[in-house]
Amino acid sequence: MSDKKAAPVDDLMDRIVSLCKRRGFIFQSSEIYGGLASCYDYGPLGVELLRNVKEAWWRSMVTSRRDIVGLDSAIIQSPKVWEASGHLDNFTDPLVDCRECKSRFRADKLGEYVCPNKKFKKRPVTECQADGFFTEPRASNLMFKTHMGPVEGAGAEAYLRPETAQGIFINFLNVVTASRLRPPFGIAQIGKSFRNEITPGNFVFRTREFEQMEMEYFIPPGEDEKWYEYWVQNRFQWYKGLGVNPERLRLRPHDKEELAHYSTGCTDVEYEFPFGWDELEGIAKRGSFDLTQHSEHSNAKLTFYDEEAKAHYTPHVVEPAAGVTRSAMTFLIDAYEEEQIGVDKKGKPDIRTVLHFHPTIAPITVAVFPLVKKEGMPDVADRIEARLREDGFKTFYDEKGAIGRRYRRQDEVGTPWCVTVDGDTLADGTVTIRDRDSMEQSRIHENELSDHLREKLQAWTYRAHG
């Protein structure tokens, strides 16, 4: 029994998956060995996309602010951490097996799946449930178990972290002592997490190994509502600021039944994926639950002294928890367009595939081409590209093929600007700069290129609001 689940994936998803492979964003992992279900590798452009997403988050959450510091904790932690946090007992999803086709499904998400059994021609699995094919739901723990040291057995068991957040709570004392921060303040972390998901799928939307960006904001009790509202709005704006279509974004407050017992509120930032609305990020009020639990289990004193009240208190926490890989996929989907830009010589629609990435997210910022591979143009283009690279831009050099084809190849990977060296460059030092979205071209002196691009980037750049 494995990942036989098939969520409805329409044509758009297939095209994006194909573009990701063709252009080096995302590959099926272990492909030369037949692939490993739901595991992915990020290629040359994918890794740049991930780095840009993480950098934009880090800038917005950490380096642009005074009240938040960063952390990078270990993936394998003491098993006691997971006992205290409740993950050992409660980090489960309800699982059902289909007696007919042996597939497994998450019982709380049955509405999302179609039956993988050919016999039933992609019918919704709720019909299989109605036919009585499913076992009773049972809890399945999502943590990956492993062993520390050469000997297996009791005492050697350890877990791969299923979230980055607990690494923050267990370092609370260290960070507070080292940085002398007082509430309200935050600790942020980006890193890999692992969950043995029952039904991974929808490309990199849900995988068993993924990256998260989480921040725990520690506040005096009683300020929960204020900071919760603040972070819900702040995080929603982050996606909008990076160019995500606001019509495909929404906030969804959780119903009471969805909340963990210690939580008094949680709101998801959701995106309208080709397979429906789903979570991008959750912003949760966690009260004092985590610090209290770790305090009780470890005997460490995780409190602050309130000078006015002359008493110790355990800070409360508001947590925005986002996914790196899920965000990267969202930026890809949201940026994707097949745009008709005229008709070709045979009268057929001329369609270009373009990724309208925000320049902060785009893997390549500027591509440089010689118009033709002669008359000294390659040398000049080579020099211009090297200079832009030294000035800190992510560049790409290409001299092969017709110029129109080269533009299209850059459109397809979302490069916002292309610079072309032509005959006039040799005469007067001006180059053509082409805009990806409008496809308009203008001329500018090569010495002004870096400033010009910086200005354009600046005009786009999202600024975190404090």
Which residue ranges make up the site for ligand ATP (CB under 6 A)? Answer: 163, 195, 197, 206-207, 210, 212, 279-282, 321-323, 325-326
Nearer CB in complex with ligand ATP: 316/326: 326
Quick check: helix, strand or coil at residue 394?
Answer: coil
Residue, CB closest to ligand ATP: 323
Nearer CB in complex with ligand ATP: 289/396: 289
Nearer CB in complex with ligand ATP: 165/170: 165
Q: What is the smallest separation between the CB atom of 296 and ligand ATP, expressed in angstroms?
A: 23
The whole-angstrom separation of Cα 370 and Cα 380 is 8
Number of H helices and E strands in the chain, helices first, is: 14, 23
β strands within 155-275, DSSP E = 157-159, 185-194, 209-219, 249-253, 265-273
Nearer CB in complex with ligand ATP: 48/163: 163
Q: What is the smallest separation between the CB atom of 210 and ligand ATP, expressed in angstroms?
A: 4
Q: What is the smallest separation between the CB atom of 91 and ligand ATP, expressed in angstroms?
A: 9
The whole-angstrom separation of Cα 132 and Cα 440 is 60
Biggest CA–CA distance in the chain, Å, is 83
Torsion angle of alpha carbons 430, 418, 327, 56, nearest 10°? -20
Phi, psi torsion values for 191, nearest 5 degrees: 180, 175
- Which pairing describes strands 209-219 and 336-343: parallel, antiparallel, or unpaired? unpaired
Q: What is the smallest separation between the CB atom of 66 and ligand ATP, expressed in angstroms?
A: 26
Buried b (16+ CB within 10 A) or exposed e, 74-101: eeebebebbebbebbeebebbbbbbeeb
Q: What is the smallest separation between the CB atom of 70 and ligand ATP, expressed in angstroms?
A: 18
**Which residues pair with residue 131 across a beta bridge?**
none
Q: What is the smallest separation between the CB atom of 280 and ligand ATP, expressed in angstroms?
A: 6
Closest to 329 in 3D by CA, of 240, 436, 210? 210
Cβ-based neighbour number of residue 115 at 10 Å: 24
Encoded amino acid at 206, one letter = R
Nearer CB in complex with ligand ATP: 268/422: 268
Q: What is the smallest separation between the CB atom of 226 and ligand ATP, expressed in angstroms?
A: 22
Nearer CB in complex with ligand ATP: 163/398: 163
Q: What is the smallest separation between the CB atom of 464 and ligand ATP, expressed in angstroms?
A: 19
Nearer CB in complex with ligand ATP: 185/194: 194
Using alpha carbons only, give the angle 28, 33, 38 rounded to the nearest 5 degrees. Answer: 35
Cβ-based neighbour number of residue 328 at 10 Å: 23
Q: What is the smallest separation between the CB atom of 163 and ligand ATP, expressed in angstroms?
A: 6
Q: What is the smallest separation between the CB atom of 215 and ligand ATP, expressed in angstroms?
A: 11
Nearer CB in complex with ligand ATP: 206/434: 206
Cβ-based neighbour number of residue 313 at 10 Å: 15
Distance of CA 137 to the CA centre of its chain: 30
Nearer CB in complex with ligand ATP: 141/325: 325
Quick check: helix, strand or coil at residue 73?
Answer: coil
The helix (run of H) or strand (run of E) holding residue 435 is: strand 430-435
Nearer CB in complex with ligand ATP: 96/371: 96
Distance of CA 188 to the CA centre of its chain: 15
